[in-house]
Amino acid sequence: MPGLELAQDEKLHCVSYSPFHRPGQTPYDEKLTIPRRQIEEDLRAISAITGCVRIYSIDRGLDQVPGVAHGLGLKVLLGVWVGYDRSAIELERAIVLANTYRDTVRAIVVGNEVLLRRERTAEEMRALLDSARAKSPVPVTYADVWEFWLKNTGLAAHVDFVTVHILPFWEDDPVDIGRALAHVAEVRGKIGAVFAGKPILIGETGWPGAGRQRGESLPSKANQARFIREFVRRAHDSGWDYNLIEAIDQPWKRTLEGTVGGNWGMLDADTLQTKFPLSGPVSERENIAAPLIGTGTGAILALLLALVGRTRVPTRQPMRLAALTLTGAAAGLVAVLHAEHAYLAYVTLTHWAALGTVALAALAACAALTRWPGNPLTAADLAWQRVRIAGLRSGATDILSALRGFILFAAAVAALLLFIDPRYRDFPSLLYLAPAMVFGVIGWLRGNSFSRAERICAALIAPCATVRWLFEPANPQAIGWLLVSLALALPVLVRRRRGDTDSQ
């Protein structure tokens, strides 16, 4: 991986800063005011990599940033949040701060992607910008994605410089990391040509370090480091002014943009340490504890299933015994890796409750497999009735049948959500991989029965996962989700054998 090779004492031009990175912090909490001590701690850590921060509002305690930055020798791009609210109070407060800290505030950014969100019209933004420029002691700009600047070229007459966002990962046609820098350069050249004579600031660019892959665009620490290094070297060589997004990971953004939304930071949210060096090798993992624990857990489950299965699987069926052993090994590893992913991805109590229940059901299916006598599974609704009556005394066949119905329902919901609204949703392949293997093993038996509800769920899972993959055929995550989905759904949908009975 290429090194950045900054000159001595050279730093990144500017980096976006948001202080809402500690547990429970979110800008949507109207009662929250970030304490000055936290801002001081954050900016002191950020000052090691840059001489400038961009903020997006002066609410929730962010009005303290210019004063703290002044003491640390940092410059500030002072953001004014503009939304549906027609109040001009924040703009007036920003102008006061700019007058107080003229040597610190580089510019006032009036509005961030307001036109993209369709919360104001171009006419309204022109009026706001004109008002701000008439009162501000520092330059005034507006920030939006590059397509909206090209749709509203007249807005340039109302700003002192154009602030444009170029994010290859979020393009409608996602850009692979290998072409990301070329894409930024192409767009930067186009914007420079259209707004010739006007200074250009790349107000946001960067790459996420974890989360859902979009097309060919893979979030990873290595890709994030590669983009930052290649972009900064090109920007410094070409004389581009820029601001990187972002300084610190923002866990709260996962509620809006999924796992990927919370992982654009260059500093870790908990430790404020840099997530990767600006030169030298980059490893995706700091340690291999999770895979080792998963491997050990898988080995134990494999041994358990092999020992139990040896007493229950006829010797003339060695492939079934091998399948049981392999399922146990995979289930242990997947369980630990999914727990690691859950810590990274799950945000709200609802996430933990709903998805945690599915994970426990998957583990319960693996446990029940150790006691399964090899009988054909029954329809889930009939099995559930027997489980409710017998409780813990229920046989493994009834428990597995009931669990299969529940997991098919949960997977159908997940597949439907990914089909309808895929942009910010992770592929839940790890969550359903173990039960897909369990019921794949059980699918070898003849005569399994399914309820009508199970067939409906399977009829949703297979086409939704297939269509999702067709939109992203080169995406390994989409391929993995397709394979897991088909492993769950196809045994229910195809090769219905003599003796099957559908429960009504």
Tens digits of residue pLDDT in 80-105: 999 988 668 899 999 999 999 999 99
**Domain co-membership, 334 together with 195:** no
Question: Is the pTM of the predicted complex or chain greater than 0.85?
Answer: yes
Q: Distance between alpha carbon 17 and the CA centroid of its chain, in Å?
A: 19
- Choose among 161, 102, 165: nearest CA to 129: 161
Are 171 and 240 part of one and the same domain? Answer: yes
Asked if residue 403 is part of any domain, the answer here is: yes
More reliable by pLDDT, 315 or 290: 290
Other C-beta atoms within 10 Å of 339: how many?
Answer: 15
Is the pLDDT confidence value at 124 over 50? yes
Among 97-111, 295-309, 490-504, the range scoring the smallest mean pLDDT is 295-309
Q: How confident is the model at residue 109 (pLDDT cuts 50, 70, 90)?
A: very high
Residue 396 domain-assigned (yes or no): yes
- For 394, the enclosing helix (H) or strand (E) is none
On whether both 375 and 435 belong to a single domain, the answer is yes
Helix, strand or coil, per DSSP, at residue 227: helix
Q: What is the mean pLDDT of residues 299-311?
A: 55
List Cβ neighbours of 87 (8 Å cut-off, separation of 6 or more). Answer: none
* Overall average pLDDT of the 392-400 stretch: 83
Whether 360 has a pLDDT exceeding 70, the answer reads yes
Tell me whether residue 269 is in a domain.
no
Radius of gyration of the chain (CA): 27
In this structure, are 187 and 113 located in the same domain? yes
**434 and 476 part of one domain:** yes
Task: Specify if 283 maps to a domain.
Answer: no
SS3 132: helix
Nearest C-alpha neighbor of 425 from the set 473, 459, 483, 465: 465
Give 312's pLDDT tier (boundaries 50, 70, 90). Answer: low
Q: What whole-number distance in Å separates Cα of residue 273 and Cα of residue 48?
A: 10
Does one domain contain both 209 and 136? yes
pLDDT of 498 over the 50 cut: no
- Domain assignment present for 501: no
447 vs 311, higher pLDDT: 447
Print burial letters for 8-33: b (CB count within 10 Å at least 16), e (below 16): eeeebbbbbbbbbbeeebebeeeebe
211-215, 351-355, 386-390, 391-395: least confident range: 391-395
> What are 12's two structure tokens?
């990144």
The β-bridge partners of 503 are: 451
User: What is the C-alpha to C-alpha distance for residues 239 and 235, in angstroms, rounded to an integer?
Assistant: 6
**What integer pLDDT is reported at residue 305 of this predicted model?**
55
Q: Which one is predicted more confidently, 339 or 32?
A: 32
**Whether 222 and 294 share a structural domain:** no
- Whether 385 is in a domain gets the answer yes
Residues 248 and 293 in one domain: no
Query: Cα-flanking dihedrals φ and ψ of residue 301, to 5°?
Result: -65, -40
Residue 316 pLDDT: 47
Domain that holds residue 462: 289-493
Question: And the tokens for 189?
Answer: 């050249």
Chain centroid to CA 96: 37
- Give the 3-state secondary structure of 429-478: HHHHHHHHHHHHHHCCCCCCCCEHHHHHHHHHHHHHHHHHHHHCCCCHHH
Residues 365 and 475 in one domain: yes
pLDDT at residue 253 is higher than 50: yes
In this predicted model, what pLDDT tens digit does every residue of 203-230 receive, in sequence order? 999 999 999 999 989 999 999 999 999 9
User: How many domains would you assign to the chain?
Assistant: 2
Band of residue 195 on the pLDDT scale cut at 50, 70, 90: very high
Calculate ∠ Cα 318-319-323, nearest 5°.
120
User: Do 452 and 352 touch, CB atoms closer than 8 A?
Assistant: no
Q: Is the pLDDT of residue 20 over 80?
A: yes
Structure confidence at residue 421 (pLDDT):
92
Q: Residue 452 falls within a domain, yes or no? A: yes
CA 168, chain centre distance (Å): 15
Q: What is the pLDDT of residue 321?
A: 58
Torsion from C-alpha of 375, 377, 379, 382, nearest 10 degrees: 50
Q: What is the pLDDT of residue 238?
A: 95
- Identify the helix (H) or strand (E) that includes residue 256: helix 254-261
What is the secondary structure of 298-322 as a DSSP string? HHHHHHHHHHHHHHHS-TT-HHHHH
Cα torsion through 398, 403, 406, 408, rounded to 10: -110
Distance from C-alpha of 14 to C-alpha of 246, rounded to nearest angstrom = 9
In this predicted structure, the answer to whether residue 499 has a pLDDT above a threshold of 60 is: no
Look at residue 331 in the predicted model and tell me its pLDDT.
67
pLDDT band at 333 (very low <50, low <70, confident <90, very high): low
Smallest CA-to-CA distance from 53 within 501, 61, 44 is with 44
The residues near 208 (Cβ < 8 Å, ≥ 6 apart) are: 169, 219, 224, 260, 261, 263, 264
| Residue 333: inside a domain | yes
Looking at 103-117, 202-216, 427-441, which range is the least confident one? 427-441
Is the predicted pLDDT of residue 334 greater than 90, yes or no?
no
Whether residue 288 is predicted with pLDDT greater than 70 in this model: the reply is no
> Between 349 and 7, where is the model more confident?
349
Query: What pLDDT was estimated at residue 327?
Result: 65
Q: Per-residue pLDDT averaged across 482-504, rounded?
A: 74
We report the CATH number of the domain holding residue 43 as 3.20.20.80
Q: Are residues 233 and 327 in the same domain?
A: no
**238 & 295 share domain:** no
> How far apart, in whole angstroms, are the C-alpha atoms of residue 176 and residue 363?
36
Does residue 15 have a pLDDT over 70? yes
pLDDT digits (tens, 9 = 90+) for 224-252: 999 999 999 999 999 999 999 999 999 99
User: For residues 72 and 47, is the Cβ–Cβ distance under 8 A?
Assistant: yes
Tell me, yes or no, whether 311 and 243 share the same domain.
Answer: no
